[in-house]
Amino acid sequence: MTTQIRAIAPALIALVACLALSACSGGGGEGEHASDSEHAAATSSSAGLPAGHVSAGEQLASTKGEATGQSCVDCHGSEGNAPIDATYPKLGGQYADYIGHALQQYRNGQRDHALMSSQARNLTDQQIADLAAYFSSRDSQLRDLHGVH
Ligand code: HEC
């Protein structure tokens, strides 16, 4: 009995080590894969934009554009939540993808508005992503324009 155990002990150790190793590398591999896809989920956008950065977006939101001399918050208000005109949309808490799509469409002409198109015309994908990240991270006071004239 004892001899038998002694005989199989090295084999068991080898087996355990082998399982541990394969569990490690298998688990590690899957872990990496999982975090890769999480990363992709967190950073990819249906608008095909790169990952956005809230702090860069915050800065950009109050930077006057060269073409217009106006910044986003000049019209959409502080944090996108205090538009200077009741008919201007609030942006705070809006889905980042929605903001991204809207800005891309103003930029490429699919969506056209006398005031807004020129605001988006010179934005890069990264700037759009940053602005979308910033405004979507603010409190939401979204409302529709029913009854607003
Ligand atoms: C001169 C005023 C003005 C400035 C400056 C301005 N916007 Fe706008 N924005 C508007 C108006 C007005 C609309 C509504 C246009 C329409 O009906 O298509 C609008 C619409 C939008 C929309 C679409 C919102 C929705 O609910 O569909 C987004 C997103 C947006 N603006 C983001 C920005 C960003 C980001 C900036 C800064 C780069 C900016 N705006 C600067 C006036 C402005």
Amino acid at 148: V
Q: Give pLDDT, residue 30.
A: 44
- What residues in the chain have per-residue pLDDT under 50? 12, 15-42
The predicted pLDDT at position 67 comes to 80
CB 119 less than 6 A from any atom of ligand 1: yes
Amino acid 143: pLDDT? 86
Q: Give me the pLDDT at residue 91, please.
A: 98
Measured in Å, residue 89 CA sits from the centre of ligand 1 at 7
> Residue 9 and residue 71: Cα distance in Å, rounded?
73
User: Is the beta carbon of 75 within 6 A of some atom in ligand 1?
Assistant: yes
pLDDT, residue 66, reads: 84
